[in-house]
Structure 1
Amino acid sequence: MLELKDGFIFYHGSYCEVKEPDLTQCAKRKDFGQGFYLTTSKEQAANFLKTAIVKAVAAGKIQENQNYGYISTFELQLSRKLEIHIFEKADVDWLHCIAAHRKKKLFVEVEHDMEKYDVIAGKIADDATNATLTAYLAGAFGTIGGKEADAFCIKQLLPNKLKDQYCFKTKAAIECLKFVEGEKVWLK
């Protein structure tokens, strides 16, 4: 069960140590929109390092030969009331939210409805599931948003095997994260 409680430990995998998350540096068209993404799985954060490094090299932020990344650890300190939306499972609502944030002008009302939240949490649509989501967004499974296409896509994603992700979308949410440590991780 996904939840958000004081004292939770979260991990963020990146090409650099992140002590103070900057929302202006966060990409806009990600699963739950622009925000600082974390997971409760250190393994999941480590698995994201290679992708983060490839993107940073392509953006000219680091040297091409960098073969290490960082897992930054944060503790949640709920010092204020946050508006939180949690997708308990990978279902149609979750799928439409991801589709709305990944592709402009798709499920606009869903994207608009999610703007009121400081934190959105749910299953992660990672690199292993990206091909399935891309095919769904291209209409390969039928009409996007259609009952059959939605059901087929969710089944292909193997939702029971997906890890979690938490998107901290606002300054208020970021201020509830306390940096604990950064760990340098060498890629294999």
Structure 2
Amino acid sequence: MKVYHTSTIEIINPDIIHSREGLDFGKGFYCTVLREQAEAYGLRFSLRGIPAILNEYVLDSAYLEANIRQFVSYDEEWLDFIMANRQNQPVTDYEIIEGGVADDKIFRTIDLYLSGDITKTDALNRLKYEKPNHQICFRSQSVIDRYLKFVSSTEL
């Protein structure tokens, strides 16, 4: 399957070393199957006058052999998982995590919940109307090396 990662550079050999802490699914290399989502993310760079590079990879279907956690909706488990990662709490030893993105719109709800301005029930009620975007977080370098192969890059 094709997956995409947008950056300011071409990334032929992805790694988790350069990843930041406190992201949705923790430290890792993030991709999506949604090309449009990856292109839209590239606008963040373009608006600041920085080149945006769309990197395309092939993800070998054997990746399903890895230790994977998949979230299919913005539910309580997803919310708890995102909250823990955003607060830099260690939550898992999964090699790959797949599920919805806590983008700016979604994060406003999470931020209200984090600050105590709304309850978990209120947050979940708001989230149930949102259509999840998609992200795959590779948290293991050996999984990246085994299953993710660079195809090409394109400047957006």
The DSSP-based 3-state class of the residue aligned with 2:135 is: strand
- The one-letter amino acid of 1:100's match is A
The match for 1:86 is 70
CA contact (8 A) 2:75 2:128 kept: no
1:86-121 Cα deviation digits (max 9, x unpaired)? 1121100000000000014xxx5xx43x2x211011
Distance in 2, Cα, partners of 1:163 & 1:37:
13
Counterpart position of 1:171: 141
Equivalent position amino acid for 1:101 in 2: N
Extract structure 1 runs of 4+ deviating beyond 6 A.
Answer: none
Q: Does 1:71 align with 2:64?
A: no
Shift of 1:160: 4.4
Contact 1:14–1:53 (CA under 8 A) maintained in structure 2: no
One-letter amino acid matched to 1:122: G
Letter in 2 for 1:128: K
Question: Is the 2:71–2:98 Cα contact (8 Å) retained in structure 1?
Answer: yes
1:74/1:136 CA distance change after superposition, 3 Å: same
Sequence identity percentage: 29
* TM-score for the superposition, normalised by structure 2: 0.88
Unaligned runs of 5+ in 1: 1-7, 55-63, 142-148
Contact 1:82–1:173 under 8 Å retained in 2: yes
- Give aligned pairs, total: 154
Deviations 1:8-51 (A, max 9, x none): 11111112222111211001110000001111101111111233
Are the structure 2 counterparts of residues 97 and 44 from structure 1 closer, same or farther at C-alpha, using a change threshold of 3 Å? Answer: same
Corresponding residue SS for 2:52: strand
Q: CA RMSD in A?
A: 2.0
Paired residues for 1:1-12 under 5 Å: 8-12=1-5
What secondary structure does 1:12 align onto? strand
